[in-house]
Structure 1
Amino acid sequence: MILNTPNRYGLVAIVLHWLMALGVIGMFGLGLYMVELTYYDNWYHGSLEFHKAVGVLLALVFLARLIWRQFNTVPTGLADKAIANKAAHWMHLGLYLVMAALFVSGYLISTADGRAVDVFGLFSVPATLTDRGSQEEIAGQIHELLAWSLAGMVALHALAALKHHVINKDNTLKRMLRP
């Protein structure tokens, strides 16, 4: 089952979901590590370039996920109350908005000096909006705030999935694990 049905997620949606989950968690961990490095640490520049390149790839997976979601059925919520299903919908929307803003702020940090973002030598994302005064500093502060916000939202999202599995005993989590 590649496509979603009204009751289940398909293989593509599941793979895109877990790629995003692993990417977001990994990037958050790398970001925490990077802010502890000094300019003279051996992996300072390497981690920065890696973070930028993975960020671009994650943004592409994010776009693929949005496009896939647009053209596929979204399975109905399994909560007993309509308000719980609405809350889940708004949480997903919030996750998407914060991720999109995180990608934009990361791009603004990375291109403030006018240089393109190299993606593992495969392609480059050109710098279109270059330094507008304190662009790198302001975008950096926003990026950090968004990263912590996303981490909190991801934690709530995971807890909600576990609550559905353990307490509600419904298929919310199971249908995101296998098509």
Structure 2
Amino acid sequence: MQIKNSSSGYGLVSILLHWLIAVTIFGLTAAGLWMVDLNYYSPWYKAAPFWHKSIGIALAAALLLRLIWRLASPVPDSPANHKRWEVVLAHLMHRLLYILLIAILASGYLISTAKGQGISVFGWFELPALISGIPRQADIAGELHFWFAMALLGCVTLHAIGALKHHFIDHDSTLIRMLRPGSIQSKEK
């Protein structure tokens, strides 16, 4: 089993981090959209934000780990059949995904710390409120949090469409490389 990336495929660590982050993004987005409609009498009124914040902090840690891993184990070469514009677009999309994810996490932090209270992470420890007291901090950060999340979902959709296009139309290894550690570029033309 290949742990690190190679020039032709992703390693197990990159694949697991990719899918862990993807599933977490979808789960947090669904939970976030659901919990904004909870009223004070809902049994989830306090529990949902607690779990959303805790998992959001865990996502920030996973993202940091992924960025560090990316430096330690550089991404594989693009498949030989990819056109120059596809390679450039893929690199831009990956950067945009990282930027949006960081913006979502930062705005979530600003929402949670607006009143000067830290964020309890699964009840294990508290992340301190380093930034608070900005006028309308929670409102502005909340609006940005929502729109960054919607933009991220749009980009993730385009990212997935691109992977499916490469798999079903181009018949190359783009998608397989993110599913099977150490995959080689066997079908490229």
TM class by shorter-chain length?
over 0.9
Q: Does residue 121 of the first structure (1) align with residue 129 of the second (2)?
A: no
Instruction: Tell me the TM-score normalized by structure 2.
Output: 0.92
> Which structure has more helix as a fraction of its residues?
1
Deviation, structure 1 residue 177: 0.5
Unaligned runs of 5+ in 2: 182-189
**Alignment partner, residue 35 of structure 1:** 36
In the TM superposition, what are the counterparts of 1:90-101 in structure 2 within 5 Å? 90-101=92-103
- Matching of residue 54 in structure 1 with residue 67 in structure 2: no
Q: Which residue of 1 aligns with 2:164?
A: 162
| Structure 2 residue aligned with 1:71 | 72
Please report how far the alpha carbon of residue 44 of structure 1 lies from its aligned counterpart in structure 2 after TM superposition: 1.4
Residue number in structure 2 paired with 1:6: 7
The one-letter code sitting in structure 2 at the alignment partner of 1:19 is: L
Return the letter of the residue paired with 1:122: W
Match status 1:104 vs 2:120: no
Q: Which amino acid aligns with 1:5?
A: S
Instruction: Give the deviation of 1:73 after TM superposition.
Output: 2.1
- 2-side partners of 1:122 and 1:154: how far apart? 31
Q: Distance in 2 between matches of 1:138 and 1:129?
A: 14
**1: CA distance between counterparts of 2:75 and 2:8?**
8
- RCO (CA 8 Å, sep 6+): is it higher in 1 or 2? 2
Partner amino acid, structure 2, of 1:175? R
CA distance in 1, matches of 2:143, 2:53: 16
What CA distance in whole angstroms lies between the structure 2 residues aligned with 1:134 and 1:50? 24
Q: 1:76 and 1:136 mapped to 2: Cα distance?
A: 42
Aligned residues between the structures = 179
Q: Deviations over 1:119-167 (max 9, x none)?
A: 1112211000012111000000000000101111111111111111111
> Percent same amino acid among aligned pairs?
47
- Separation of aligned partners in 1, 2:164 and 2:31: 25
Aligned to 1:86: 88
Amino acid at match of 1:30: A
TM-score scaled by length of structure 1: 0.97
Shift of residue 13 of structure 1? 0.3
Q: Secondary structure at the match of 1:90?
A: helix
Give the C-alpha shift of residue 80 in structure 1. Answer: 2.5
| Alpha-carbon distance between aligned partners in 2 of 1:15 and 1:140, rounded to the nearest angstrom | 30
Counterpart in the other structure of 1:132: 134
Deviant stretches of 4+, over 3 Å: none
1:17 matched residue in structure 2: 18
How far residue 70 of structure 1 moved from its aligned partner, in angstroms, is 1.2
Q: For 1:14-42, what per-residue CA distance to the aligned partner results, in whole angstroms no more than 9, with x for missing partners? A: 00001100000100111111122122221
